[in-house]
Structure 1
Amino acid sequence: MGVLRFSYGTMGSGKSTLALQIHHNLSTRGLRGLLCTHLDREGAQVSSRLGVAASAVDVGPKLDLFALAAQQVEHHGTLHYLVCDEAQFYAPEQADQLARIVDELGADVHALGLLTDFRGRLFPATARLLEVADERCELQVEARCWCGSRATHNARLVDGVQVYDGETVVIGDVEALGDATPAAVSYELLCRRHWIVGETGRLDDATERALSAT
Structure 2
Amino acid sequence: MAKLYFYYSAMNAGKTTTLLQSAYNYHERGMRTLILTPALDSRYGEGVVASRIGLKANARRFGSGENLLALIQADIAAHGALHCVFADEAQFLTRSQVWQLSDVVDKLNIPVLAFGLRTDFRGELFEGSRYLLAWADNLEEIKTICHTGRKATMVVRVDEHGRVVTEGPQVEIGGNDRYVSVSRAEFKKISEGSGRIELQQSVLPLGESR
Structure 1 segments of 4+ aligned residues over 6 angstroms from their partners: none
Matched residue type, 2:198: R
Superposed CA deviations along residues 2-56 of structure 1, whole A, max 9, x for unmatched, are 2111111111211000100111111221212201122263132111111111111
- Equivalent residue for 2:12? 12
Q: Report the TM-score when normalising by structure 2.
A: 0.84
Aligned 8 A contact 1:40 1:47 in 2? no
- Go from structure 1 to structure 2 and tell me whether the alpha carbon gap of 1:28 and 1:77 turns closer, same or farther (over 3 Å shift): same
| 1:59, distance to aligned residue in structure 2 (A) | 2.3
Matched, 1:158 2:150: no
The range that moved more, 56-65 or 193-202, is: 193-202
Q: Secondary structure at the match of 1:95?
A: helix
Distance 1:71 1:200 in 2: 49
Distance 1:189 1:138 in 2: 14
How many residues are paired up?
191
Distance 2:168 2:125 in 1: 15
Q: CA RMSD in A?
A: 1.9
Q: Which among 50, 53, 56 is matched to residue 53 of structure 1?
A: 56
Aligned 8 A contact 1:146 1:190 in 2? yes
Q: Report the TM-score when normalising by structure 1.
A: 0.82
- Equivalent residue for 2:180? 188
- Go from structure 1 to structure 2 and tell me whether the alpha carbon gap of 1:164 and 1:153 turns closer, same or farther (over 3 Å shift): same
Q: Which among 112, 115, 133 is matched to residue 112 of structure 1?
A: 115
Aligned 8 A contact 1:146 1:200 in 2? no
Aligned 8 A contact 1:10 1:153 in 2? yes
Q: Which among 67, 71, 76 is matched to residue 73 of structure 1?
A: 76
Listed as ranges, the gaps of 5+ residues in structure 1 are 174-183, 204-214
Between the aligned residues of both structures, percent identity stands at 38
